[in-house]
Amino acid sequence: MKEYVEIKRQGIFYNVYGKDAYIITNFTDYKITNGRSGFPLNSIDKVKEILNKNKVNYIIIDEDITEEKLTYGQFFVKPCYIRVW
């Protein structure tokens, strides 16, 4: 069983699918459309802050991320990073 929300970067948006989309919409104002919830790139820090505050583990799949962009509590796993408790 998966123990994190999977957030995928696709172009200028991040998208969350299936059950993960319901978790995101539970904590944010984003809506679910066709089984997914999406938000613009510039909202990722807000979403991360909300997930951290609510102790929700997440993984962000983003091939453009570099190790220098990581903060405390995040681990580099190319091509993505993951935050765990």
pLDDT in tens, 47-61: 999 999 998 888 888
| Confidence band of 85 (pLDDT split at 50, 70, 90) | very low
Q: Quick one: which of 36, 3, 6, 42 has its CA closest to 21?
A: 36
Model pTM above 0.95? no
CATH number of the structural domain spanning residue 31: 3.40.1170.10
**For the chain, how many structural domains are there in total?**
1
**CB crowding 33-44: b at 16 or more within 10 Å, else e:** eeebbbbeeeeb
Look up the domain containing 69 and give its range. Answer: 5-83
- Say whether pLDDT at 77 is over 80: no
